[in-house]
Copies of this chain bind each other. A is one copy, B any other.
Amino acid sequence: MPQTIVNPARLTPPEARALFREGLVTPTSGWSAGWTQANLIALPKEQAYDFLVFAQRNPRPCPVLDVTEPGEFAASLFGGDLRTDLPGYRVYRDGEQVAEVPDVLSYWRDDLVCFLVGCSFTFEAALLDAGVPVRHIEAGTNVPMYRTNRDCRPAGELSGPMVVSMRPVPAELVATAVRITSRYPAVHGAPVHVGDPGALGIDDLDRPDFGDPVEVRAGELPVFWACGVTPQAAVMRSRPPFAIGHAPGHMAITDARDSAYQVP
Instruction: Name A residues whose Cβ lies closer than 8 Å to a Cβ of B.
Output: 48-49, 52-53, 56-57, 64, 66-67, 69, 155-156, 179, 182-183, 185, 263-264
How many copies of the chain does the oligomer comprise? 2
Give the complex CA separation of A48 and B50 in angstroms. 11
Among candidates B57, B179, B264, residue contacting A67 with C-beta atoms closer than 8 Å: B57
A-B contacts, 9 of them at CB < 8 A, read A49-B52, A52-B52, A52-B56, A53-B67, A56-B64, A56-B67, A57-B67, A183-B263, A263-B263
Give the complex CA separation of A49 and B69 in angstroms. 11
Contacting residues, chain B, for A183 (C-beta < 8 A): 263-264
CB distance from A149 to the nearest CB of B (A): 21
Give the complex CA separation of A48 and B56 in angstroms. 13
Give the complex CA separation of A10 and B179 in angstroms. 34
* Inter-subunit contact A182/B48 (CB<8 Å): no
Give the complex CA separation of A145 and B183 in angstroms. 31
Nearest B residue to A264 via CB reads B182
Give the complex CA separation of A141 and B185 in angstroms. 35
* Inter-subunit contact B263/A185 (CB<8 Å): yes
Known pairs A49-B52, A52-B52; list 12 more (Cβ under 8 Å): A48-B49, A52-B56, A56-B64, A56-B66, A56-B67, A57-B67, A67-B155, A69-B156, A182-B263, A182-B264, A183-B263, A185-B185
Nearest B residue to A182 via CB reads B264
